[in-house]
Amino acid sequence: MEYIKSRIRDVYDFPQKGVVFKDLTTVFKDPRALHIIGWDLSQIYRDKGVTKVVGIESRGFIGGSILAFELGAGFVPVRKPGKLPADTLQASYDKEYGKDTIEIHRDAITEDDIVVLHDDVLATGGTMAAAYELVKRMNPKKIYINFIIELGMLNGRANLPADAEVTSLIKY
């Protein structure tokens, strides 16, 4: 993970003053780093029978797609309102910079699915908590939660469901 950490760019005062944003675009453009992330993520879930990976817009699409490919699972996007073309379920939530809403296709997950919810960074946990609730409404067999980076000082795990297995590759 030291190689991955060395590729993460800190962007100060983004998206607002006082925030140090952990920019993963510098990791994603590095072929070796991208391969390491894909491999390490897949090793967590290799023997868990995962059938769907749900990636949260937008950077969660990158790691989520790689994870789905590595596991031989399907990929499901969670998007901002109005971006998905068919019937959706919707959840609103508070995040560190205001309020937001996300959607998922109503038919994306079945009761037979084992799901990994993936996003790039766990900050306050609001987005992931909302995504978890959306997926939970579809009654899959199991839901796992995964991040590439976890910002521990923001205590985002406290906002995630207590019954969820949460993993992060890198913790700050």
Please give the positions annotated as active site. Answer: 59, 96
State the SS3 of the chain. Answer: CHHHHHHCEEEECCCCCCCEEEECHHHHCCHHHHHHHHHHHHHHHCCCCCCEEEEECCCHHHHHHHHHHHHCCEEEEEECCCCCCCCEEEEEEEECCEEEEEEEECCCCCCCCEEEEEEEEECCCHHHHHHHHHHHCCCCCEEEEEEEEECHHHCHHHHCCCCCEEEEEEEC
